Amino acid sequence: MKIIILGVGQVGASLATVLAGETHNSVTVVDTDAAALGRLQDRLDIRTVQGYGAQPSILSEAGAADADVLIAVTSSDETNMLACQVAWTLYRTPTKIARIRATDYHDHPALFDNSAIPVDYMISPERLIKDYIARLIEYPDALQVHDFAGGKLRLIGMRADADGPMVGHPIRYLSELLPDVEVRVAAIFRHDTSLHPDGSTVIEADDEVFFLAPSENIRKVMSVMRRLDRPYKRIMIAGGGNIGGALAKVLESRYQVKLISNNAEKARKLSAELDNTVVLTGSAADSDLLIEENIEDTDVFLALTNDDEDNILAAMLAKRLGARKVMCIVNRSEYVDLIHMGAIDIALSPHNITIGSLIGRLRRGDVVSVHSLRRGAAETMEIIARGDAKTSRVVGRRVDALTLPPGTTIGAILREDAVLIAHHDTQIAADDHVILFLTDKRHVRDIEQLFAVGFGFF
């Protein structure tokens, strides 16, 4: 695909890195910052164009005349929307994606149509990470949580504990512990090495285990991997921006929420908007303030400001002062890697979460959704099986008859309203939604080709 990315910020640069790494893509990045473009071009095989991305001449220079996709992720909602308008009006660009942060625009979806503002897909990193954090809070022991089929099926990543009933036993022992529960262990990571699990694979303490199960059975499966923590009750949020304020609004009806903002005016505004949240003015890195607000009784401390360093320091301080679990937003990928497995329990990467939602819109074939896992090292994909036994290499065939790339597992199948956990003898039918887990992202293209329909189908 020929892809134009407008904006060389965290999201734009990360997206360019992922898409340029897939050999079948041709990527051009546009921004007014020549130095940032130069740094990106030094390490990626991409084209760059300096200029204002919404201008027709700049889009023309970037190759909009024959581009397949325009992704506008500058810091300005209006620039992103205008760029999509110009790309459609002048060049009929087939797919137009825009980063739109203001909730006022999201509240009026009728605006976004090719006859009005031609945006095919809106992304809001703030909304995505707010929803993701809310899911993590629902499952206190989870490292990652991803939904499929509107929440009917969930993928959970968690660390096996030495006291867990499954530790020291092969995966097939799951059927003895949970005879009435369908579950599929999709992957195991041990000391940063991926294992391709089968029934004889023994789960060890500290293994990072990813499994798929119907949502109503998630807690049962988690309980055999480790002794479950008590549910969260008290939550403290550092940061009163778009993410912190929106998250407090979602959580305040079910939890005791405190929010700290270092901006007095913003704190006053949030205090008026929130019903049950205690809003405080001050620094989240102020140990006296944290102690005064009983940080030692806090179940979850969330550092959600726009400053990576402030988030890391505040989260580490909260952990040292007794917070049960700490999470923080970290935009710079090198920081995420540094603090992994350190004092901070979970590092949240907004651009990784955003990219996961975007990639599904860009993959060829009938890819419905893609989620990045383990800081981008692996991913899970939902793809639709099309055709029939004559035109498809998957339809009408058993799972164990498929030639899957190394490190690839079929975890589950969504068939109409039913969720089927995949076994070796499960047969794939036309229009099934197949959930795959890939520990090596280099094989994404192989999966797309495997599920491609032959011309005879048309």
E-strand spans in 227-345? 234-238, 256-261, 278-281, 300-303, 325-329
Q: Which candidate, 136, 128, 135, places its Cα nearest to that of 101? A: 128
Output the pLDDT for position 284. Answer: 92
396 by Cβ neighbours in 10 Å (0-12 / 13-18 / 19+) ranks as middle
Residues 141, 145, 151, 155: is their CA dihedral positive or negative? negative
Span 381-425, pLDDT tens digits: 888 888 888 888 899 999 989 988 888 888 889 888 788 888 889
Is the model's pLDDT at 270 over the cut of 80? yes
Measured CA to CA, the distance from residue 386 to residue 396 in angstroms comes to 11
Residues 269, 274, 277, 278: is their CA dihedral positive or negative? positive
Output the pLDDT for position 64. Answer: 93
Averaged pLDDT for residues 436-440: 84
Contact by Cβ (8 Å): 300, 137: yes
- Could you tell me the CA-to-CA distances from 407 to 198, 346, 360, 365, 372 in Å, in that order? 12, 25, 20, 21, 15
Span 247-269, pLDDT tens digits: 999 999 999 999 999 999 999 99
Output the pLDDT for position 153. Answer: 87
Angle, CA 277 vertex, CA 271 and CA 278 arms, to 5°: 75
Measured CA to CA, the distance from residue 219 to residue 141 in angstroms comes to 10
Which band of pLDDT confidence, cut at 50, 70 and 90, is reported for residue 23?
Answer: low
Averaged pLDDT for residues 353-381: 73
Span 284-340, pLDDT tens digits: 999 999 999 999 999 999 999 989 899 999 999 999 999 999 999 988 767 766 665
115 by Cβ neighbours in 10 Å (0-12 / 13-18 / 19+) ranks as exposed
Averaged pLDDT for residues 87-98: 93
Output the pLDDT for position 373. Answer: 75
